[in-house]
Amino acid sequence: MLRHLYTVLLLALPLANAHALGGQNMVLGRMVPARGDAPSVATTTHARAHYVLHCAGCHGFDGSGAQAGQVPDMRRLGQFLRVPGGREFIVSVPGVMGSGLSDEQIAEVTNWMLGGMARSSVPEGTPPYTAAEVTRARSRTLLDVAAARRQLVLEARARGLAID
């Protein structure tokens, strides 16, 4: 009799558990059926998270870049805003254009960088980037990024500004 009760309990326990967890799964909780069109990465809306996911791999978490890989130091980014064409340049580089981020997300990440790691280099009163501004920059492909950058660096130097 006791053995019988034990068997009944053993059978009933997982069922009760399954019921408590929504009747879907007995181990990890409610199971969500996989969707064929589910995104492959968790989506996020935070600019810092976008930076970490899409930019930090090359630019470093603090924006210091990598001399060996010729990845520039982001902390000087604001200097570009003092040179004609520089404002458009920094949202036109391949790392930005090819990131897969929307125009709005690029504006947000750029504003986040300018307000954080690059803050000390940003001229007073600089207006934030808008999605529309990024859309305009995107419509004009930057064909030779190295040449465009060299030109801006020369102009910056002529103004007595430091960009490496």
Which CB sits closer to ligand HEC, 57 or 85?
Answer: 57
From residue 138, give the alpha-carbon distance in Å to each of 3, 6, 93: 74, 70, 10
Query: How many whole angstroms separate alpha carbon 100 and alpha carbon 106?
Result: 9
Cβ 44 to ligand HEC shortest distance, Å: 13
> Binding ligand HEC by CB under 6 A: which of 63, 75, 87, 96?
96
Cβ 51 to ligand HEC shortest distance, Å: 6
Rule CB under 6 A: is residue 71 a binding residue for ligand HEC?
A: yes
Cβ 101 to ligand HEC shortest distance, Å: 6
For 129-135, which contacts have Cβ atoms below 8 Å and span 24 or more sequence positions?
Answer: 129/91, 131/102, 131/103, 131/104, 131/106, 131/107, 132/103, 133/91, 133/107, 134/91, 134/103, 134/104, 134/106, 134/107, 134/110, 135/103
Rule CB under 6 A: is residue 13 a binding residue for ligand HEC?
A: no
Cβ 130 to ligand HEC shortest distance, Å: 16
Which CB sits closer to ligand HEC, 10 or 68?
Answer: 68
The residue of the chain with the least Cβ separation from ligand HEC equals 95
Interacting residues of 65 by C-beta distance below 8 A, sequence separation 6+: 58, 59, 71, 72, 73, 74
Are the beta carbons of 77 and 144 closer than 8 angstroms? no
Rule CB under 6 A: is residue 55 a binding residue for ligand HEC?
A: yes
Rule CB under 6 A: is residue 94 a binding residue for ligand HEC?
A: yes
> Binding ligand HEC by CB under 6 A: which of 58, 132, 147, 162?
58
Binding site for ligand HEC (CB under 6 A): 54-55, 57-59, 70-72, 77, 90, 93-96, 99, 101, 109, 145-146, 149
